[in-house]
Structure 1
Amino acid sequence: MSGHRPPALALLLAEPLRAPLAPLRLARDWRALGRLPRGDGRAVMLLPGLFNGDRSNLAMAALLRRLGYRVEGWGLGRNLGQRAIGGDGARLFARIDDFAQRAGAPVTLVGVSLGGVMARIAAHRLPGRVRAVVTVSAPFAGPPEATNVWRAYQWLSGARIDDPAVRAWSGEAARPLPVPATAIWSARDGLVGGAICRDADCHAIEVASGHLWVQFDPQVLRAVAAALARDASQPLPAGGSFR
């Protein structure tokens, strides 16, 4: 496992205790979040985590729209791994391509957990269609066994982590991206270790959150907004044509 281990049992057991605090903090800080840097109107697609759908990202979507971004969910129902995206990703890639065509510009992908892994793969597969990638608690830089959720992933997705196709998928996600990448991670995460949620080739932002309901945590939303503002000065990727 390349020296990576799953998060400690104490962190795992703390997850259900900490999770309800995130939306409480969000309610407290909602007004202040509206004072974050304004967006540039770019197209942003939000990719949910394992077993979650677009509703899990409602708070993030509402905030980013409030800041001036053009936001859409992925529109593929619950994230059940390869079951949701069409095997090798065809359904997801088609959704991103369609959004880019309608927006007339590449799409910035913000992916939570498994959604972040998928966002990185999409950035490799869709040159000229993805502008930047922001991952939130996404374990892209290590093997599935270095998480506490790999068994749930196998059950929900129907794919085994020792399948060569799954190993190749994980390897592709770990490769340096051809577009700007930001990784938001936490050392307190009880499901996926922070060490495999970032690498030397991306801009890393550390937060003090758990994993469950991470997308409701105000500090995470601030980090996402900061990542989008930081990438605003980056040149658009070359390639592709837009109507």
Structure 2
Amino acid sequence: MPRLPLPGHHLLAAAGVRSRARHRADPTGLGHPSGPPSTRAALGELGSALDGVRLVGALPRLSAAPRGDGHLVVDIPGWRAPELTGAPLRAYLRRLGYDARGWGFGTNTGDPRRDVERLSRSVLELLDAKGEPASLVGWSLGGVIAREVARRHPDAVRRVVTYGTPVTGGPRHTTVARAYRRGPDADAHRVAERLDPTAPIPVPLTILFSRRDGIVAWQACLDHTSPDAEHVEVSSTHIGMGVDPDVWAVVADRLARG
């Protein structure tokens, strides 16, 4: 018999005291994307600031997260997002004991092929300097870049965590679908999709997605080919994921697993 939620559970989750994240062991039954998010979901992005309010209630459980081991964590912003957008998460990870840094290239202007090349060089240089592989954390298009760096240089990447990242379909399943030529490089996404079955990403992947995502169709975030991919469902808007305490808690937990 399934366990019913305890009285007040939903209220505590809404306040951030409890997590709304759910591990999805088998993504095959969750479906495939058919296009961009609905207009209703896109309009829901207007309430993204409310996701950050839950950080206050989540402070005790975030503070109790496993301590970091000091390894390097590189944070990659989403399309058109400045590097500053990841500053709150990086500050949290540094507080836990990680060497959390921005990717070093400022705003993500939407050229993943170029960015995979230059981030690869940066990660390899950091590997030489620190003597150990880095973890990559990518938001939206930043996750696409993180995945491709890990595919090319698995010895230099310890783990990849993505949230709101389109794995299939690229811009076709985002709210920029009608104007994708002005959006992220569609050809780069198609190359990634061709490589997934033939050269799957061998490092551990944690994929966070949300059915409330109004920018990327949540089904497009599912990875059906990587051998070591896990899926975690959160309840956040796309923009709000950067300050969603459930996202932060999952990132901290997975980084601590090594």
Alignment-mate amino acid for residue 114 of structure 1: L
Is the 1:34–1:63 contact (alpha carbons within 8 Å) kept by the matching residues of 2? no
Which deviates further from its counterpart, 18-27 or 102-111?
A: 18-27
Mapped pair 1:61 → 2:90: yes
Structure 1 residues 13 and 228 mapped into 2: Cα distance closer, same or farther (>3 Å)?
Answer: same
Q: State the identity %.
A: 39
Residue 254 of structure 2 corresponds to: 227
Shift of 1:151: 5.1
2:43 is equivalent to residue 13 of structure 1: yes
Give, in angstroms, the shift of residue 32 of structure 1.
Answer: 4.0
Decide which of 167, 191, 205 is 2:190's aligned counterpart: 167
Q: 1:66 to 1:81 in 2, by over 3 A?
A: same
Matched, 1:38 2:61: no
Of 25-34 and 176-185, deviating more is: 25-34
Q: CA deviation at 1:223?
A: 1.5
- The secondary structure found in structure 2 opposite 1:66 is helix
Kept in 2, the 8 Å contact 1:100–1:129? The answer is: yes
1:51 is aligned to 2:87: no
Structure 1: which amino acid aligns with 2:62?
L
Q: By how many angstroms is 1:216 displaced?
A: 0.7
1:51 & 1:143 partners in 2: Cα distance? 15
Instruction: Report the counterpart of residue 79 of structure 1 in structure 2.
Output: 108
Distance in 1, matches of 2:179 and 2:141, equals 12
C-alpha distance 192-125 of structure 1, shift in aligned 2 (>3 A): same
The letter of the residue matching 1:185 is F
Structure 2 counterpart of 1:198: 222
Contact preservation (8 Å) 1:116, 1:134:
yes
Q: How many residues align?
A: 223
The question of whether the paired residues in 2 share the 8 Å contact of 1:34 and 1:66 is answered with no
Structure 2 CA distance for aligned equivalents of residues 133 and 183 of structure 1? 8
Range 101-110 or range 193-202, more displaced? 193-202
Coordinate RMSD, CA, aligned: 2.2
| 1:56, distance to aligned residue in structure 2 (A) | 0.3
Normalising by structure 2, report the TM-score.
Answer: 0.78
Q: Which runs of 5+ in 1 are unaligned?
A: 233-243
Superposed counterparts of 1:144-223, under 5 Å: 144-150=171-177, 154-155=181-182, 157=184, 159=185, 161=186, 163=187, 167-172=190-195, 176-200=200-224, 201=226, 202-223=229-250
